[in-house]
A and B are shown apart, each in its own frame.
Chain A
Amino acid sequence: MNKKLQKILAFVGLILLQTLILNEVHLFGFVIPYVYIMFLVVIPPHANRVQTLVLAFTLGLFIDMFENTGGIHATAILVAAYFRPQLLHLTFGLSYDYQTLTIKNARFIKKLTYVSLLVLIHHTVLFALEVFSFDLWQMFFKKLAITLIFSVLIIMLMMSLIRKKS
């Protein structure tokens, strides 16, 4: 029950954090850190896959609704959610396979790799769908690179906050 409550809190909390605070950031005029993808990091590594896909998609759809962006956030987080098990296996290896993994207690460098890869997949899909034109490829890479750095930075900061609390 406690696990479920945590999931709901993360879901609602991340939507509010993203739409009320982070969407106002606009670093350099065009960079918004997308932190809601942290949802995929905080839910348990072996969570039900179908449920994870549906929840992630719904979360993205809420962000889309607030941002008037059609379905780009929903699609991007869905793709990231789909590749989550492969990424977990890739970065954490055996401890994931033997179901003993808790991301909170993992080593910093592994956590960073995992978060960066998730955010990379998410942001690539997101900006490709958002820019939606081959003519603007320069803008695509500029947005991707800079936003990636700030998203990963903020997610890592928030992860360290969560660890202290528990």
Chain B
Amino acid sequence: MQQIFNFLIKYKVGLVFLGLLILGLSLTLTAHDYQNSKVVSAANDVTGNLFNFKTNVSDYFRLGPQNEVLLQENKNLQEQLYHLRQSAFTELDTTAFSIDSVYKVYTSKVIANNYAYSDNYLLLDSGKKDSIEPGMAVLSSLGIVGITEQVSSRFTRVISILNRNTSINAKLKSSNHFGTLTWSGDDPYVTSLIDVPRSAKVNLGDTITTGGKSFIFPGEIFIGVVEDYELDLNRGYYNISVKLFNDMTDLGEVYVIKREDKEEALELLENVEEE
């Protein structure tokens, strides 16, 4: 017994080091696995409130650019509205609005934004009390931002599109060929669209939008333009570099979008699988 204690005391530094090292490494490993990445997270009151305080100060320095973005968005919406009014006279389509209304839009604000790592997360200043749930789409006025992942009562952690674990269904706007949007971990302005079939016609400058083949993102949301592409001859798929419309390094106000019939659809899918 005495010898065990002597051993412990003699090697206490090494043992503490080893113990903490194993703890740290296991936290790191679980964080690289998307399913288990929620152990050490910023979606809690301490970090959330601190980031909130910081944003309250730094917001004043970006009022100008933010106004510009809002003005631009208002302009786009106005244009769509005029367009809609014009067409409403010719053919009165009462179903048009009911289709859109499966999506419910909430507004929120990004209070912490990382893009220096190869797996990045954002923090929003709204949570359960603002009816945010995991698995909702996060958009800015210019394009897609990420997917809500972990929700506390007042804050939400969003897995950014600048994260190697995200894969989002996207398509070429012109030809409706689908692919998967991923990130290589390097450039915060560029993501890649992989697995686009070789039958697709890809041109530089083509617009990429969301595919609409998921219950998270609505379809036809702008993502970016084709900056570069190459055909993977072994697999017969295109790898396309997409320059994002969205400046992921400067995010402010965002929209969180919920698809109201998501639970129903998922339930249906589960039932089919069970049978």
**Does B188 touch A at the CB level, under 8 Å?**
yes
Shortest CB distance B161–A (Å): 15
* Cβ contact of A20, chosen from B21, B39, B54, cutoff 8 A: B54
Is B107 positioned at the interface, with any CB of A under 8 Å from its CB? no
Contacts A26-B249, A70-B27: A50 and B16 contacting too (C-beta < 8 A)?
yes
In the complex, B202 has a CB within 8 A of chain A: no
B residues contacting A by CB (< 8 A) are: 12-13, 16-17, 20-21, 23-32, 37, 39-42, 44, 46-47, 50-51, 54, 58, 112, 114-121, 123, 157, 185-188, 249
| Beta-carbon nearest neighbor of A57 in chain B | B20
Which B residues are CB-close (under 8 A) to A19? 50
- Supposing A70-B27, A71-B25, A71-B31 touch, asked if A61 and B116 sit within 8 A by C-beta, the answer is no
Complex CA–CA separation, A66 to B40 (angstroms) = 9
Contact of A75 among B25, B30, B50, B58 (CB under 8 A): B25
Chain A contacts for B42, CB-based, 8 A: 65-68
Near B by CB (< 8 A), chain A positions 72-131 give: 72, 74-75, 78-79, 82, 129-131
Closest Cβ of chain A to B170, distance in Å, is 23
- Asked if B20 and A30 make an inter-chain contact with CB atoms under 8 angstroms apart, the answer reads no
Chain A residues near B29: list those with CB within 8 A.
70
Task: Give 9 pairs: A residue, B residue, CB < 8 Å, sorted on A.
Answer: A26-B116, A30-B115, A30-B188, A54-B20, A57-B24, A70-B31, A75-B21, A130-B117, A133-B118
**Interface residue tally on A, bucketed by range:** 35 or more
Chain A residues whose C-beta falls within 8 Å of the C-beta of B50 in the assembled complex: 19-20, 66
Q: How far is the CB of B51 from chain A (nearest CB, A)?
A: 8
- Chain B residues with CB under 8 Å of A132's CB are 28, 32, 118
- Give the A-B contact count at a CB cut-off of 8 A: 115
Contact A49 B13 (CB under 8 A): yes
Q: Contacts A30-B116, A50-B16, A75-B21 hold; do A139 and B185 have CB atoms under 8 A apart?
A: yes
Whether A129 contacts B40 in the complex (CB less than 8 A), given A20-B54, A30-B116, comes out as no
> Chain B nearest CB: distance from A94 CB in Å?
23
Binding site for B on A (CB under 8 A): 19-20, 23-24, 26, 29-32, 49-50, 53-54, 57, 60-61, 64-72, 74-75, 78-79, 82, 129-133, 136, 139
Interface pair B17/A69, CB less than 8 Å apart? no
Q: A20-B50, A69-B31, A132-B32 are in contact. Are A31 and B116 (CB under 8 A)?
A: yes
Which listed residue (B21, B30, B123, B186) contacts A139, Cβ 8 A? B186
Q: Is the CB of B117 within 8 A of A53?
A: no
Q: Compute how far the CA of A12 lies from the CA of B32 in the bound complex, rounded to whole angstroms.
A: 28
User: Could you say which residues of chain A place their CB within 8 Å of the CB of B17?
Assistant: 53, 78, 82
B118, A53: Cβ atoms closer than 8 Å: no
Measured between C-beta atoms, what is the minimum distance from A60 to chain B in Å?
Answer: 7
What chain B residues lie within 8 Å of A72 (beta carbons)? 24, 28, 31
A29 to B13, CA, bound (A): 39
The distance in angstroms between the C-alpha atoms of A66 and B48, with both chains bound, is 9
A160 CB, nearest partner CB in chain B, Å: 27
- Docked CA distance A66–B43 (Å): 9
CB-CB under 8 A from A139, the residues of chain B are: 118, 185-186
Contacts of B157 in A (CB 8 A): 68
B39's partner among A70, A79, A136 (CB-CB below 8 A) is: A70
